[in-house]
Structure 1
Amino acid sequence: MEDCEVSKPEHLCVLVHGLWGNPGHMWYLEKSLCEEYPEDRLHILSAKGNAGNHTYDGIETGGERVAHEIEQELEKLAKKGTPIKKLSVIGYSLGGLVARYAVGLLYHNKWFDERLEPNFTTFATPHLGVRTPLLGFPSTLWNVLGARTLSISGRQLFGIDKFRDTGRPLLSVLADPEGIFIRALTTFKNRSLYANVINDRSAVFYTTAISRTDPYVNIDNLDVNYVPGYEPVVIDGKNPFSMKNAESSGTFSRLRKRLDAWIAKLPMYAFLVFIVPIGVVIFLSNSVIQSVASQQRIRLHQTGKTGVDVSKYRIPLLQNMRETAETLYENVNSAQDQEYLPVEYEDAAVSHGSSLLLPEPSKAMSQSSGKSTVDTEDPQVEVPTLALTDEQFAMIDALDKVGWKKYHVWIHKARHSHAAVIVRMNEKRFNEGKVVVRHWLSEFEL
């Protein structure tokens, strides 16, 4: 879709797609904005520099490309006599992390000094990475192998990289309280995120919602409350759920639900048994090819041979085959079950604070259950603390201090909620995502 043609826009809205993506994935967000706001007040830039396999090149390189595109757009509009007064940035999936990096660069380069930044929003963005919260050997196996299948982007998403001379993962640097990236986020008037509560095979709830817990693991045991006018999709963050009554949560009911859940996973098990052996060979072969190609692109980018002057972005920081690969990665990733911290580690985790749109959890842990309690309008609900890393707990603390409006989303009809949340394709099964976009537009400040 072509960018909206405008005469004298005051506001630039930048859309940043995700891993393996392209600007076309943002078509519905762009269409909705164009229909909602006058052409002479809003200009839309759908970033193009990271399309396709270019998303393998890492958050840093991707962020520099997007920052370059934004600067070019601002300069182009200024030459036309239409200087931009407001900037909003919207990121989807990996694009949310790329966007956080890009706005940090723009902040450092003084683009924000006299400009009002109204909105920063992420949809299904893995702010804490994509490491599966598991303990023991399964965690080591998947988190080590998965990190090495997506070139530098994979290493950064799994948090095993050492970013430049910091000796820390890039995601940790992005969330450093004293760094330019956090300071850039604080300049936005509205910071919001949308997180799928189930069926996101690419980025699960804890990371997209910036949370140390996942209260929706047994969602069938909950009576979920929705934002009026956006039911049954956008969940009321102030009072998200209550426990179902004892009758509906009886032993027979629980067994039946477990059986239904197991039957529902049969296609996935068949996929893993019969398709994965072939797919793994293809996927890993493609990963090697893409990693080599990615390193070549990064070298060209770093030497300025792609048209981007990277020297202006290298700043002090602490102030088809692709579709096959995506499908295989998502299926293997979604097969992992989350695990929780042992009781003896819970108190330390709680000290980092809660990030749910719920009252703060009690620090009094149940030594028998190993769970913290979360107060809703219902009696206390026990929510286990996930087995995250110390760095992830620190990221949660830093990002929550910035302040976010967090919206939880329950996509019922699509088995792949990651794509549905932004209506990535014009398909009926993604229609619930239109409710999410409508809610986002109601919160968007022009």
Structure 2
Amino acid sequence: MQSVHLIVLIHGLYGSTLNLAAVKQELLALSSPDAPASSSRKQSIETVVYLPEGIKGPRTWDGIDLCALRIVEEVDNEIERLEDEGKDVVGFSVMGYSLGGLISRYLIGVLHARQPSFFSRHKPISFSTAATPHLGVLKYGTLTNTVVHAVGRQLFSRSGRQIYCMDEEPEWGGRGLLEFMADPGEDHVFVEALRLFPKIMIVANGCQDNTVPYPTASISASDPFIDLSTVEVDTDAHHIIKSYRKIEIPDPDDLPVDHSREIEDDGEEVEIKIKIIKNPISRVATEWKGRRRQPLPPPFMAFPWPLNYMLFLIFPLLLPFVLVFLTGAITFQNFHSRRRIRTHRDTIERQPLLVPSSAYLTETIQSTAREISDSLSSSIRPDTSIDGISTPPLSDPVEHSSKTPLLLTPAQKLMIRNLNHAMPHAQRVVAWFPWAFNSHAMLICRDTARFPWQEDGRGIVKLWAKFAHSAVFQVIGGKDSGDVEMHGRTGE
């Protein structure tokens, strides 16, 4: 049978498969028969990229668990289709963007909970997320964030309650789903499923991600980039951070003052006034290495000139109508989401979520642990700035700014410890788009036709795609991507 590496690519909240078109494009480009090969010795492994269709738009509001269960059915159908074509899925990878990363974590847990485990038949290869709120929505000690947090927790139905950690339901033992999924206990399947994947990548935006900020995307207890005036960042040509260091800005009150001119030659004292200007550096950079921020927020830049400027000027007059429309649309979608949840409630409750026991899985976990140990000793450097591995190195640790405190709950702190302990081999990649209004969409080049500046995220997309694509050759047979002949296709 033709060997296949199946890559499941999952979009985020209120998204669609079109949002990940650039990621799919890069994956298929790497899988093309025309892709360069560096060796005459080749092994035929076909790469299949599958984008689930069953969680588009408001259906992502129905809950992380329910979305994952829908995708499970689609994955089963896709594997059955491939087998009917005479193909064998020898490797399985998952890539999740934004909320899709949380859905991905639940997905692999459900697959692992089967008897026998899904992974006893299909070898786990790579697991990766980009801009995923692993800790849920964060709360900072600012007035704006407090207001947004109070409003946001009322939106997006069941998924909203889960990402705001307000879903303490009996089925999770009285805890929230995110805390439950980070539980490393012997009878909990989600962390165990993560440990099966020998290749893991966590992609996060370092700044300007107003949707999923750095700490929750990178599973970190601190945010060294919270104040851009306190760090100096070094990036490569693809806007990926290579290193960063703390900038020492002296307090003007502590600067030495020359008192030699305070007394004239005749002994008369002279009054000298010193004007102190503190922190003159702007927190947000409107320009960075030739990149300049667009003059208007992205929604207005989608319209042609001069309509975009006209809409921007009259927007305060349109705001009440916009708020009424959004309130009505959200209420309508929440109503239908609750109906769908009630319909599938029995299905959710019947899912067994206990770790299956088998000799194969024991060997798989031990083998993965050996691979992780080898990679840690040879290529991954620890970093003292966050709870994790392989982040860009710091010259000096950057302490969290007291001006904007990050208010982590005890449950979120526990998630950080458990998840980082479960993924010590995770490779972290930090993107840097300080000129963006919101870098969340730039990370995946979500809509470059309407917003051309999102093309700046192409380097991140290429790196993410190359990681998932090449992992199968590193895990199966120890081959790199240049030693293997690959053929790409996509299933949707």
Pair in the same fold by TM > 0.5: yes
d(CA) in 1 for partners of 2:315 and 2:352? Answer: 45
Q: Deviations over 1:162-207 (max 9, x none)?
A: 2343111111111111221111111111111111111212111111
d(CA) in 2 for partners of 1:203 and 1:247? Answer: 31
Are positions 1:143 and 2:149 aligned together?
Answer: yes
Tell me what 2:37 maps to. none
Superposed displacement of residue 296, structure 1? 1.5
- Amino acid in the other structure paired with 1:410: W
Q: Compare CA radii of gyration and give the structure with the larger one.
A: 2
CA distance 1:318–1:396, change in 2 (3 Å) = farther
- Amino acid in the other structure paired with 2:131: A
Are positions 1:243 and 2:252 aligned together?
Answer: no
d(CA) in 1 for partners of 2:465 and 2:454? Answer: 18
Secondary structure of the residue that 2:232 maps to in structure 1? strand
Q: Is the 8 A contact 2:137 2:212 kept in 1?
A: yes
Q: Is the 8 A contact 1:11 1:86 kept in 2?
A: yes
CA distance 1:158–1:277, change in 2 (3 Å) = farther
d(CA) in 2 for partners of 1:248 and 1:195? Answer: 32
CA distance 1:439–1:107, change in 2 (3 Å) = same
Are positions 1:19 and 2:17 aligned together?
Answer: no
Tell me what 1:113 maps to. 120
Ranked by relative contact order (alpha carbons within 8 Å, sequence separation 6 or more), the top structure is: 2
Are positions 1:420 and 2:442 aligned together?
Answer: yes
Q: 1:20-99 to 2 correspondence within 5 Å?
A: 20-38=14-32, 41-99=46-104
Q: For 1:288, which of 323, 328, 331 is the aligned residue? A: 331
Larger mean Cα displacement after TM superposition, 116-125 or 410-419: 410-419
Superposed displacement of residue 16, structure 1? 0.3
Secondary structure of the residue that 2:344 maps to in structure 1? helix
CA distance 1:387–1:112, change in 2 (3 Å) = same
Q: Is the 8 A contact 1:60 1:101 kept in 2?
A: yes
Larger mean Cα displacement after TM superposition, 279-288 or 59-68: 279-288
Are positions 1:124 and 2:131 aligned together?
Answer: yes
Tell me what 1:436 maps to. 460
CA distance 1:61–1:361, change in 2 (3 Å) = closer
Tell me what 1:299 maps to. 342
Tell me what 2:418 maps to. 398
d(CA) in 2 for partners of 1:270 and 1:161? Answer: 41
Task: Tell me the TM-score normalized by structure 1.
Answer: 0.76
Are positions 1:255 and 2:280 aligned together?
Answer: yes
- Amino acid in the other structure paired with 2:129: T
Superposed displacement of residue 159, structure 1? 0.4
Are positions 1:191 and 2:185 aligned together?
Answer: no
Q: Deviations over 1:310-340 (max 9, x none)?
A: 3796124689xxxxxxxxxxxxxxxxxxxxx
d(CA) in 1 for partners of 2:200 and 2:350? Answer: 24
Q: Is the 8 A contact 1:9 1:84 kept in 2?
A: yes
Secondary structure of the residue that 2:119 maps to in structure 1? coil
Q: 1:213-228 to 2 correspondence within 5 Å?
A: 213-226=222-235
Aligned-residue identity in percent? 27
Task: Tell me the TM-score normalized by structure 2.
Answer: 0.69
Q: Is the 8 A contact 1:131 1:159 kept in 2?
A: no
d(CA) in 1 for partners of 2:278 and 2:456? Answer: 28
- Amino acid in the other structure paired with 2:100: G
d(CA) in 2 for partners of 1:377 and 1:291? Answer: 44
d(CA) in 2 for partners of 1:265 and 1:231? Answer: 20
Q: Is the 8 A contact 2:385 2:394 kept in 1?
A: no
CA distance 1:360–1:417, change in 2 (3 Å) = closer
- Amino acid in the other structure paired with 1:171: L
Q: Is the 8 A contact 2:137 2:164 kept in 1?
A: yes
d(CA) in 2 for partners of 1:292 and 1:219? Answer: 41
Tell me what 1:104 maps to. 109
d(CA) in 2 for partners of 1:258 and 1:38? Answer: 43
d(CA) in 2 for partners of 1:259 and 1:202? Answer: 16
- Pairwise CA RMSD: 3.5
